[in-house]
Structure 1
């Protein structure tokens, strides 16, 4: 609801300045890490059902949603020989219906407005999670219990065959990226034959081909019993409320065999190993890998903090020396990949073009030797610890998702048998010493390592999948099922669902008239803030594509009083994150600060924005990094498509004809004066608005912000002006632009067209209709290419909103041999939807229920609220726009959604960009009856 105070206007009213407020006291020193650790608390209750299911319940009433997470204590390390990838394949099968819920599980989740829903598999566990409205909790508990106890009767041979194809396309999608094959070689080099961590969770094509219905049945029976699972409920629920529901739906599931997850020792290489790989990369990278202890080891924190100091923090030793000072590398990294039984410690450097890789390797080894011998300083350790704890505090605002409270509790319980493990772990970060880290580094990083050099060149032949039939296997009836279905269970009704209560938004002005939008969220002691400048990528002249991005990057590379190294160190001491970014229409500087350290964090933010140095040596370093990044984009299939499509849609002179990464020739010639002139014209207070979401009241926030930005005056030079002309008309017939990328196991298909849609005029109807066509998992194009045909890991279509235009874009990575067929299928689906087969009553009901019921979960976090506030301003929406959406969605009919999407998308207006192996792909495309133009990457 809208804030009702004298300083807050009606949604469309003008704004007025706040009355002067006495400045709040600013802490002289950052809050110590021990105090930060005490702020991290997830109180919860634990109980165990008679069948062995462990249940954890955390009560958090900030929003009417509950995060539901089920963790099974089984992962790829538990797969027997010849069954690699099976844990992950089985995760996919768990989304394809149960005995009492036939069809895709996402259908039932969307009907109740679930958000943050997915499933993942790693070496050590498989999990399933969703955040649901409180009134839908009982239904989702039924659904998870049906997966746990009533699955096999729904798994058919046809479902297995389809999901096998989907997983193989997921593997191709990862493998197709530059460097996508490296991890396989690292695991093989570090872990001997028979070691549980020798193979990756995605598995091999051959083993996936061989997966049988017997494997499905045995895997489920052996590993998916309640006594091998942890159920976590976090959110608008108490243990007293939860226990009867959990017992009702999970209590009658029988125990499974006692699962004993695979044990694994940390191997030690007998001698150093080395390898050279070639791939579609732009620059040489050199890496070192060591097997080290994992999550359960007391040395975990020492390895993690040690890696952060060495190469994980922005201020790290390797960054400071190799990138900033010596400028022989364009990027570096170091850190720990921690698994349950083991870990992998990695140090890497990307060699600056023109520098001998041997020089970088030698210097990397020297710096590591010095670090291992002497260890980190006390200040480095504290900065790394504060950075880690601050990140945990931010993540715990969310009840579910990939890293919220439910995940934190489940991880400790599953891996260590202690749901409070997170607290003990954080306490170690607060108490770790330089001596602890030095001794741990000396123990593990002086052992033999695996060295890998990745350099530009042609990669080795790709291992493709072979069908069972091609191997001479027996044809199996697709209707064959893993088991006979059990007795029917009744799906419970959905209870009362709460409406969204979007935070009150107050609009004020600073002393210099700068507009500020403020909302309060008190779930975590964090202040999120964005300085939004009316610039963006559209501010670049056609001859200077990439200038805006270079300026935004250089803001973080030193001020007139602080070097880039000093800025990085200062942020880490405060636990602050200050980042720059941009969209087509806006350039933004964002800050996430611990509210206890807000005063000094704002001081850093003000210095970065108002006083950038644009130092010549830093500019040359960033220029080299950017040019290297562009060359890498030109190697990546998605990056290639992103660089080509905008100019095809808008024409080369339009402000929105952006070039991902920028124009190489322009970036090569940008001077310091170019950057300073752009900043003076575009990044100035008369083009800025401020957006804040904080746990602190406005009376405390406003004077601190005013002290930094309220006296900032615009320079004398005129402000920049964007020159939007008329966009070109979309074509009357489709065409294909093919970019040859040899040896690609997948083709990336991106189709786009300009539309007449206006982001301020009923765009919500277009977006709702697109949920059916291409906007989510259950969309027609995804269900066709992924779930029905198994040709892709995922297909999406979206109306991409910007201030002056709304293109519609489809993205479809598909297996190479189905490229032409996929374009045919996409055209058929789009044509059918826009023709006589529009939104059905079932699709309408599901879509509206999902959009209405999902609103509370969609705006659960302060970062989501901040983003919404900025979008509302960009598109001229009222301050309470989010609270108007439910009524708008409920007013839609199938006819009104059909009308909206048919007025937006033209089935013949496509430009299709295809990035793939032309030798395999072009013959397929030539048969489609569309003109095909072969071009080079831009």
Structure 2
């Protein structure tokens, strides 16, 4: 450990940086223009214009978080975040339900140590509706806040706490928080608070908390998107101008609480792998040290070219993941290292070698090349943020954060200038100052096997009229064909210098051989590890270093029916990046050492899946629905089985790549800041020599629904919650009429696909047995899985299962979909569409859906009109045809000592015990 090294390390000379730095990429600091004004009641408002889509992001930041609480009254900020969603004087219905109904996207609220924020991106026509609602809960909440709502949301929050703690490593947050901050420090309790404090919260407490902290003088409101400042000001004055300010508020000054010495802790948890968490208290956000420590974290453990990853994951193969990060908050921060040991590895040695890498970086500092790549990565991330107006990291979020914490909306520019100005010596100095002493290490091991306003009149008894769905006109898809037959599809999107390329290969989990499930996803994953075999030879480290130097990101993904090889790149570096991209697609090396390492990582990932309740169910579900031999009857996670992964060889991956990666079996989708004239010659040079060849057919035969209703039980001893999954088969997306597919989307929305759905209103909002319940349709070329997933508190498992069974019977005919339900679903499906296509990644996902599932090119442009034409009778008829009143398959994952007998007493069907692999027990 580093105890006592600070003075010694400070005396060491800085290392030579003779290594040639990465080629400089000129990534400008983004500019987010804004107009700022402050109402007489203290509300600070910023307006940013961006007219590329008819949407407006509304981002409201209350400068109150868990650090503003007092010991014994913890969890209030987070509890009040939930209460703010429960309705107000003039919007007396759940806020999420109200906003889902007007097409809100990126809709949520979050609480952290320092602030509570609420955000949504809505059609421009719906801005008045949102401002009315947001201002109503700011100024008119307490009139409808009663004991019933308090108890309901208290229950929801407590279920959220149980749900978090029921996950692997769920105990870590509490332990690290209590052991790294001194008693009385505002960060010395968790954001979610304690169960006892939540239980003790009274109406008097919450009323006083609201009055003290939620006045407009403590708020920053940002409107970003299709709006001008004059219009914005008039609207904000109308809706917020009569809200009185709250009392003056004191602010906690910076309190880093730097520690000295080394402290350790250990805990056992129901986890498959040992993990090391190591942390130091450091200066917080908007300090000179923040930028320097962010760079240090990137060099140490920020990706696959980082020192920890290369040493522990690749070279020594002691870890399956190795990460370092600098978590910056308002009054202090924490620098952390997170290491996950490979099963069976020497955890002490892993920790010791990680310390060696930290020690070496402290002694020598980063090389010029390492620092340049870290700098490019951070600058590129900000360049990409200018694509979105809302959501986490979007332009409204950046402006709101800076204004809330610094008073300067441009504070992000200061941060980025510090990033650009950093040198190896300044980064090393910051590390010596803050990371040479004062660490806390937690080892987690598996259990042994086993502000005065001048009011303006506003009649709040009548909400503003709702707007209409916006017309959607996506960039058209342009098509070209390369000399070898490869289809290229381009959608132009100019404004941000970003381009996304996705090579779509017709394969997916369904292309796995029966004896080798998981082969497709592992093959795709291996593409990141090295090139050669006919192309330029590169190691995984060299690939990641080259990507960082280009400001690019690369990744692969696999779903049931396809594999995707994705490159997101900046326009200035596209031509240079294409050579690398082509090699990654066409010439993977499949080095034996990399294969062995990734195989071990895959085995560890499967072991982790078998400890996460929902993933446990999704692993066994497909075989229960499709039966043996079907191409889809494999774990829905796509990871395969231990036995199959252990059998796999490098030759299997090579064979899969040769068989399925062919230009006649692929489409290259490009979205972003380029044209076909610019692009086509470059693509011909990169991919034109790729030869075509015959490709096998996948077996996607139709199967009958399982007979009867069977409840499968998987034991998870000591579980704080039970996970209930209900599932059946639904018509395929491909080949089904667009009308029927759209109707099924609406049916899913009103049943379980939205906050305002039947399932969620029942189990969360009415009974508060769960933090959230939902249903979904798994996209597929063949028959789809229609499933519901319901995490519920253990003592309500059987009651919840009975309630869910009644909901299925009701939607299948006993209680047909009502007109209001359908209207809410139609609003959700149509009004939110414009907000779903802001970034090139979002556009790429949409076009990939069209291409993969053979949908009409104008699918999204015509979606709104078609959805609004659907009638309740049509949805009812579809439900009667497709939803079985008695679900054929239920899976319950929980503590069987507590839930099995009540489940059997329900009499819903045959009950069977199975293990985590789906094998029958007793």
Question: Would the TM-score normalized by the shorter structure come out above 0.5?
Answer: yes
Question: Would you say the 8 A contact 1:277–1:459 is kept in 2?
Answer: no
Equivalent residue for 2:531? Answer: 559
| Cα distance between partner residues in 2 of 1:815 and 1:730 | 30
User: How has the CA–CA distance of structure 1 residues 838 and 493 changed in structure 2, closer, same or farther, with 3 Å as cutoff?
Assistant: same
* Secondary structure of 2:723 counterpart: strand
Measure how far apart 1:351 and its partner are.
2.1
Question: Would you say the 8 A contact 1:542–1:652 is kept in 2?
Answer: no
Match status 1:771 vs 2:762:
no
Equivalent residue for 2:359? Answer: 369
User: How has the CA–CA distance of structure 1 residues 256 and 458 changed in structure 2, closer, same or farther, with 3 Å as cutoff?
Assistant: farther
Match status 1:533 vs 2:505:
yes
| Cα distance between partner residues in 2 of 1:374 and 1:302 | 15
Equivalent residue for 2:724? Answer: 749
Match status 1:734 vs 2:709:
yes
| Cα distance between partner residues in 1 of 2:423 and 2:305 | 19
| Cα distance between partner residues in 2 of 1:892 and 1:283 | 50
Measure how far apart 1:489 and its partner are.
3.6
Match status 1:691 vs 2:666:
no
Question: Would you say the 8 A contact 2:751–2:759 is kept in 1?
Answer: yes
- Per-residue Cα deviation, 1:302-343 (whole angstroms, up to 9, x for no partner): 111101100112200111111112222222111111111111
Worse-matched range after superposition: 805-814 or 421-430: 421-430
Measure how far apart 1:888 and its partner are.
0.7
Match status 1:714 vs 2:692:
yes
| Cα distance between partner residues in 2 of 1:565 and 1:92 | 44
* Secondary structure of 2:755 counterpart: coil
| Cα distance between partner residues in 2 of 1:447 and 1:400 | 39
Equivalent residue for 1:409? Answer: 399
| Cα distance between partner residues in 2 of 1:395 and 1:744 | 39
- Per-residue Cα deviation, 1:888-937 (whole angstroms, up to 9, x for no partner): 11211111111122211112133111111111111221211132211211
| Cα distance between partner residues in 1 of 2:343 and 2:809 | 48
Residue in structure 2 matching 1:156, options 134, 143, 146: 146
Worse-matched range after superposition: 256-265 or 374-383: 256-265
Measure how far apart 1:495 and its partner are.
4.2
Equivalent residue for 1:469? Answer: none
User: How has the CA–CA distance of structure 1 residues 928 and 289 changed in structure 2, closer, same or farther, with 3 Å as cutoff?
Assistant: same
Measure how far apart 1:412 and its partner are.
0.2
Match status 1:80 vs 2:70:
yes
* Secondary structure of 2:162 counterpart: helix
Equivalent residue for 1:644? Answer: 620
| Cα distance between partner residues in 2 of 1:723 and 1:134 | 46
Question: Would you say the 8 A contact 2:281–2:438 is kept in 1?
Answer: no
Match status 1:865 vs 2:837:
no
Equivalent residue for 2:7? Answer: none
User: How has the CA–CA distance of structure 1 residues 646 and 247 changed in structure 2, closer, same or farther, with 3 Å as cutoff?
Assistant: same
Worse-matched range after superposition: 281-290 or 577-586: 281-290
Equivalent residue for 1:70? Answer: 60
Question: Would you say the 8 A contact 2:732–2:782 is kept in 1?
Answer: no
Equivalent residue for 2:227? Answer: 237
Equivalent residue for 1:211? Answer: 201
Residue in structure 1 matching 2:433, options 422, 426, 443: 443
Match status 1:37 vs 2:9:
no
| Cα distance between partner residues in 2 of 1:744 and 1:606 | 47
Match status 1:915 vs 2:893:
yes
User: How has the CA–CA distance of structure 1 residues 763 and 487 changed in structure 2, closer, same or farther, with 3 Å as cutoff?
Assistant: closer
Match status 1:96 vs 2:80:
no
| Cα distance between partner residues in 1 of 2:578 and 2:513 | 32
Equivalent residue for 1:434? Answer: 424
| Cα distance between partner residues in 1 of 2:781 and 2:590 | 30
Question: Would you say the 8 A contact 2:491–2:672 is kept in 1?
Answer: yes
* Secondary structure of 1:160 counterpart: helix
Match status 1:568 vs 2:540:
no
Question: Would you say the 8 A contact 1:538–1:722 is kept in 2?
Answer: yes
| Cα distance between partner residues in 2 of 1:424 and 1:758 | 49
- Per-residue Cα deviation, 1:464-494 (whole angstroms, up to 9, x for no partner): xxxxxxxxxxxxxxxxxxxxxx985431123
Equivalent residue for 2:490? Answer: 518
| Cα distance between partner residues in 2 of 1:890 and 1:329 | 52
Equivalent residue for 1:886? Answer: 864
Measure how far apart 1:721 and its partner are.
2.6
Measure how far apart 1:640 and its partner are.
0.9
* Secondary structure of 1:36 counterpart: coil
Q: Equivalent residues in 2 for 1:306-705 (5 A)?
A: 306-457=296-447, 488-495=460-467, 497-560=469-532, 561-659=537-635, 660=637, 661-705=639-683
Residue in structure 2 matching 1:934, options 905, 913, 918: 913
| Cα distance between partner residues in 2 of 1:489 and 1:686 | 62
| Cα distance between partner residues in 1 of 2:215 and 2:192 | 23
Question: Would you say the 8 A contact 2:341–2:350 is kept in 1?
Answer: yes
* Secondary structure of 1:158 counterpart: helix
User: How has the CA–CA distance of structure 1 residues 849 and 723 changed in structure 2, closer, same or farther, with 3 Å as cutoff?
Assistant: closer
* Secondary structure of 2:870 counterpart: coil
Question: Would you say the 8 A contact 2:45–2:221 is kept in 1?
Answer: yes
Question: Would you say the 8 A contact 2:384–2:498 is kept in 1?
Answer: yes
| Cα distance between partner residues in 2 of 1:103 and 1:412 | 32
Measure how far apart 1:758 and its partner are.
4.9
Match status 1:113 vs 2:103:
yes
Structure 2 unmatched ranges of 5 or more: 1-20, 451-457, 918-922
Question: Would you say the 8 A contact 1:37–1:426 is kept in 2?
Answer: no
Measure how far apart 1:884 and its partner are.
1.3
Question: Would you say the 8 A contact 1:852–1:886 is kept in 2?
Answer: yes
User: How has the CA–CA distance of structure 1 residues 177 and 533 changed in structure 2, closer, same or farther, with 3 Å as cutoff?
Assistant: same
Measure how far apart 1:355 and its partner are.
2.6
* Secondary structure of 2:53 counterpart: coil
Worse-matched range after superposition: 844-853 or 133-142: 844-853
Residue in structure 2 matching 1:191, options 166, 172, 181: 181
| Cα distance between partner residues in 2 of 1:416 and 1:332 | 33
Question: Would you say the 8 A contact 2:531–2:587 is kept in 1?
Answer: yes
User: How has the CA–CA distance of structure 1 residues 864 and 296 changed in structure 2, closer, same or farther, with 3 Å as cutoff?
Assistant: closer
| Cα distance between partner residues in 2 of 1:873 and 1:228 | 48
| Cα distance between partner residues in 1 of 2:459 and 2:188 | 41
| Cα distance between partner residues in 2 of 1:886 and 1:488 | 31
| Cα distance between partner residues in 1 of 2:569 and 2:333 | 31
Question: Would you say the 8 A contact 2:493–2:840 is kept in 1?
Answer: yes
TM-score relative to the length of structure 1 = 0.92
- Per-residue Cα deviation, 1:339-375 (whole angstroms, up to 9, x for no partner): 1111111112222233322211221211211111111
Q: Equivalent residues in 2 for 1:294-305 (5 A)?
A: 294-305=284-295
- Per-residue Cα deviation, 1:697-736 (whole angstroms, up to 9, x for no partner): 2211222222111221136xx4233123342x22342211
| Cα distance between partner residues in 2 of 1:937 and 1:730 | 23
* Secondary structure of 2:31 counterpart: coil
Measure how far apart 1:846 and its partner are.
2.2
Question: Would you say the 8 A contact 2:276–2:339 is kept in 1?
Answer: yes
* Secondary structure of 1:711 counterpart: coil
* Secondary structure of 1:131 counterpart: strand
Measure how far apart 1:269 and its partner are.
2.7
Equivalent residue for 2:9? Answer: none
User: How has the CA–CA distance of structure 1 residues 758 and 336 changed in structure 2, closer, same or farther, with 3 Å as cutoff?
Assistant: closer
Aligned positions, number? 880
* Secondary structure of 1:331 counterpart: strand
- Per-residue Cα deviation, 1:190-249 (whole angstroms, up to 9, x for no partner): 101111101111111111111111111111100000000000000001111111111111
| Cα distance between partner residues in 2 of 1:527 and 1:140 | 33
